[in-house]
Structure 1
Amino acid sequence: MASINAGTTFKVSRKSPELIRPAKPTPHELRILSDIDDQDGLRFQMPLALIYRHSPSMEGRDPVRVIRDAVAVALVFYYPFAGRLREVATRKLVVECTSEGVLFVEADADATLQQLGALLPPIQNLHELLYDVPGSAGVLDCPLMLIQVTRLLCGGFVFAWRYNHTMADGAGIHQFIKAVCELARGAERPSVIPVWERHILCARYPPRETMRHLSMILWLTQSEPLSHMIVWCDISSSVPLRSPPFARAYLRTSKVAPMLCVMNIREQMNPPLPEGYYGNAIVYPAAVATAEMLLKNPLCYAVELVKKAIQGATEEFVKSVVDLMVLRGRPNLTGVQTYLVSSARVFEVDVGWGNPAYGGVARAGVDSFPRAVSYFMRIKNSKGEDGIMVPICLPLKAMDVLVDELQKMLPGRSSIASAL
């Protein structure tokens, strides 16, 4: 599997964007977001892509109509997604459940899946497969989701999404997509009924910051241009690894190499968050060390730093993070020289055409993020070999060093796409 070749071009014809409303009447009400949902670091649009092959069993079925109808029914259960975000006092976000709907674009491409490749991130033609409808990319008073279904000449199709991250994290949006797929295959209701309950992750009264949160220290925003690439690493065999390659990537520009880990805290709470909770249930424990110490020590040193940071993300840590958001005006994450990593889901969701050839993040990094963001996903390559796919986003200079280090550390066990 490989991302689209740089020289690949294709044409996409689109119909005018439309709004999909819930299939049945839904309540008109205000729903408050949690104090984790509305932090600055989550006020952006997140792109996803599901790519399906042709299925002989679905001959005569139109994926556009199947998905459009399923989304309308799903919005009956997830009706806040059909509303619009409003900002009230102290920058607090609420959803006005207006039933206005989510944006939907129907499209056709003059190419086959084989011609396009497997479309692994970074998807270079994402702007064609997920049209940025003018005025739709904001946070407030905008549709909370944009969907484009693009038919391919071979009978396959691309099911691309963009959603407002304040509404859901990776687990939450996976729950919604799964519901759409179940309804598309004929279910009357989702197997998991959505739960709002955002008050569980709202600040205590009075709020009290009881722990130090390195991920929320307001450092300067990174301004240098970012580069994107994809790395696939074979995990079927093991070789000794020395210092983390990103340490050398940062050594030339900073003495400190912070790493933020995205952690799902659904099970950290007592009691655990209810099944069906689809809001943001994530915190960012930080492992911080100097690049010099990372280079002097074996890889296990860095691993232990990360493990210690994650182990420190207790229930009290979560509550302190929530209170911090209120006390400090819902701050953003750290910026300069910070490496943010998340274990992203590979979406194996069947909309009727079988599991997707690829389903997951559309690229590393996010346009509104002034920092490096990478996602790790377990996936098989075109030879059927198990591996880890890593779409990486780093400053240009750091990317050059990282590529050189990876090639030294993983000879013959990795493939690296050209940086964009």
Structure 2
Amino acid sequence: MASSLKFTVRRGPAVLVAPASATPRELKRLSDIDDQDGLRLHVPIIQFYRQNALMGGREPAPVIRDAIARALVPYYPFAGRLRELEGRKLAVDCTGEGVLFIEAEADVRLDHFGDELQPPFPCLEELIFDVPGSSEVLGSPLLLFQVTRLACGGFILGVRLHHTMADAQGLVQFLGAVAELARGAAGPTVRPVWGRELLEARDPPRPAFAHREYDEVPDTKGSIIPLDDMVHRSFFFGRHEVAAIRANLPPDLRSRASKFDLLTGLLWKCRTAALALDADEVMRMICVVTAHGGKSGVAIPKGYYGNAFALPAAVATAGDLVAKPLGYAVELVKRAKGEVNVEYMRSVADLMVLRGRPHFTVVRAYLASDLTKAGFSNLDFGWGNPVYGGPANVGVGTSPGMATFLVPCKNAKGEDGIIVPMCLPGPAMETFVKEMGTLVSLPAEQKQDPMLPVNRSAL
């Protein structure tokens, strides 16, 4: 099975790809949403592509490398390096040095990865190689690309992004520009907008919300999940599973709850029960809520590729989450998401400046991000859309059990749905599956799927 798959990757030297033509040399400040502590890390994305006979045997690496160079002209800040100014303020020194690019090949076929591609992926550290010295916060390349050609003629595109530069939508926007250029376009359809001053703190800063997502919580009971004995499973939710979950809600909530509300409430409740915590422990469900699209009232212009989201937290005790019906958790998630508006975003920026750009809470916290509409599955570099496109692993930084992503996918039967990767200690995972089984009837293959050990070196 794919989890035990072993193969050899032969990599060429890592090279810097600079913008294809001259770009401005300047210092550009990040926003006060961008440079918070929780985003000062590199995040991996992976895309799997089949062979395409219509490409006439063209090699993907040079096609993509050339398109990156051309895309870096309008997106020239990506070719720079981060510097830290007074007050921990981050800014991009637009040096034009370029991004890292690796060309590789692997003695494995795409079908060896199995019928359902989902994280964590085998040999991930070979598919997105951590070039020594490249993963520092300051002075390192802001993007790393690795194109690995497979024995079947398909290829894998690994991308690593410095998160302070862009959110998922911003990264997809840049990769979409690369894809358009790779397919022969004269230039990107969407014009990039820097505009980071839109999300800077007010003067003077004046936070107006409680922001429980940034509470300072002491880890008095060893509540951060240890890395030992961690296992991974991914769960597929199609329309039948979603309908079963919705049936557990009171009638007035069934019509108001989104899929994200349903799944996040379910995961929060079952995960809390699985961790067997004291009833009085305070739990946080942190929801990534985008400001793109105008729903929050923030005027984020088309083409803006910086981080434009908030992290509102639903808060409840472990005892209440376990004992009360599913609707309790779902309602709390929905209410937390509903707080986000233009004033909330300004309040987050103000808090960052006043409190030295803190990290979001990790003690007794769990984070969920909806990537179903991000667009990773629509990135076509000329070989068609990917078989899988999205996060390469589970977790946030060094906390693999703390976060999960909702990723669009098809199951082995071709049904559209959402895959949700989970990472928990072994005994907790067994309990988690049982808890979910009381609220939703999982297909037999998901009940019987063995627990997969986490590839810790890839986290």
Q: Which residue in 2 is equivalent to 1:137? A: 135
Which runs of structure 2 are paired with 1:11-410 in the superposition (5 Å)? 11-117=8-114, 118-220=116-218, 222=224, 224-225=226-227, 226-236=230-240, 238-239=243-244, 240-241=247-248, 244-252=269-277, 255-266=281-292, 267-268=294-295, 270=297, 272-344=299-371, 345=374, 346-369=376-399, 372-410=402-440
Contact 2:278 2:318 (C-alpha < 8 Å) held by counterparts: no
C-alpha separation in 2, matches of 1:45 and 1:417: 30
Contact 1:47 1:161 (C-alpha < 8 Å) held by counterparts: yes
TM-score in terms of structure 2 length: 0.87
Task: Give how far 1:210 is off.
Answer: 1.5
More helix by share: 2
Q: Which residue in 1 is equivalent to 2:262? A: none
Residues 167-219 of structure 1: per-residue CA shift (max 9 Å, x gap): 00011001011111000000111110110000110000011122100000122
- Go from structure 1 to structure 2 and tell me whether the alpha carbon gap of 1:19 and 1:417 turns closer, same or farther (over 3 Å shift): farther
Task: Give how far 1:406 is off.
Answer: 2.5
- Go from structure 1 to structure 2 and tell me whether the alpha carbon gap of 1:296 and 1:366 turns closer, same or farther (over 3 Å shift): closer
Contact 2:394 2:401 (C-alpha < 8 Å) held by counterparts: no
C-alpha separation in 2, matches of 1:204 and 1:395: 43
Residues 388-411 of structure 1: per-residue CA shift (max 9 Å, x gap): 200123455543421332344433
Relative to structure 2, which stretch is displaced further, 297-306 or 134-143? 297-306
Contact 1:51 1:359 (C-alpha < 8 Å) held by counterparts: yes
Task: Give how far 1:123 is off.
Answer: 1.1
- Go from structure 1 to structure 2 and tell me whether the alpha carbon gap of 1:330 and 1:412 turns closer, same or farther (over 3 Å shift): closer
**Equivalent AA in structure 2 for residue 302 of structure 1:** A
Task: Give how far 1:220 is off.
Answer: 3.5
3-state DSSP class of the match of 1:294?
helix
Contact 1:236 1:386 (C-alpha < 8 Å) held by counterparts: no
Identity %: 47
Task: Give how far 1:105 is off.
Answer: 0.4
- Go from structure 1 to structure 2 and tell me whether the alpha carbon gap of 1:28 and 1:58 turns closer, same or farther (over 3 Å shift): same
C-alpha separation in 2, matches of 1:139 and 1:84: 9
Contact 1:250 1:291 (C-alpha < 8 Å) held by counterparts: no
Contact 1:338 1:371 (C-alpha < 8 Å) held by counterparts: no
Contact 1:230 1:417 (C-alpha < 8 Å) held by counterparts: no
Contact 2:297 2:341 (C-alpha < 8 Å) held by counterparts: no
Q: Which residue in 2 is equivalent to 1:5? A: 2
Q: Aligned Cα RMSD in Å?
A: 1.9
Residues 2-55 of structure 1: per-residue CA shift (max 9 Å, x gap): xx6232111111111000000010001000000000000001111000100011
Contact 1:258 1:339 (C-alpha < 8 Å) held by counterparts: yes
TM-score in terms of structure 1 length: 0.94
- Go from structure 1 to structure 2 and tell me whether the alpha carbon gap of 1:316 and 1:395 turns closer, same or farther (over 3 Å shift): farther
**Equivalent AA in structure 2 for residue 6 of structure 1:** S
- Go from structure 1 to structure 2 and tell me whether the alpha carbon gap of 1:191 and 1:228 turns closer, same or farther (over 3 Å shift): same
Contact 1:365 1:374 (C-alpha < 8 Å) held by counterparts: yes
Task: Give how far 1:270 is off.
Answer: 4.7
**Equivalent AA in structure 2 for residue 256 of structure 1:** V
- Go from structure 1 to structure 2 and tell me whether the alpha carbon gap of 1:183 and 1:417 turns closer, same or farther (over 3 Å shift): farther
C-alpha separation in 2, matches of 1:130 and 1:49: 8
Q: Which residue in 1 is equivalent to 2:456? A: none
3-state DSSP class of the match of 1:347?
helix
Contact 1:48 1:160 (C-alpha < 8 Å) held by counterparts: yes
Task: Give how far 1:223 is off.
Answer: 5.7
**Equivalent AA in structure 1 for residue 412 of structure 2:** S
**Equivalent AA in structure 2 for residue 58 of structure 1:** M
3-state DSSP class of the match of 2:145?
strand
- Go from structure 1 to structure 2 and tell me whether the alpha carbon gap of 1:151 and 1:82 turns closer, same or farther (over 3 Å shift): same
C-alpha separation in 2, matches of 1:370 and 1:14: 27
Task: Give how far 1:252 is off.
Answer: 2.6
C-alpha separation in 1, matches of 2:408 and 2:225: 31
C-alpha separation in 2, matches of 1:271 and 1:263: 12
- Go from structure 1 to structure 2 and tell me whether the alpha carbon gap of 1:176 and 1:112 turns closer, same or farther (over 3 Å shift): same
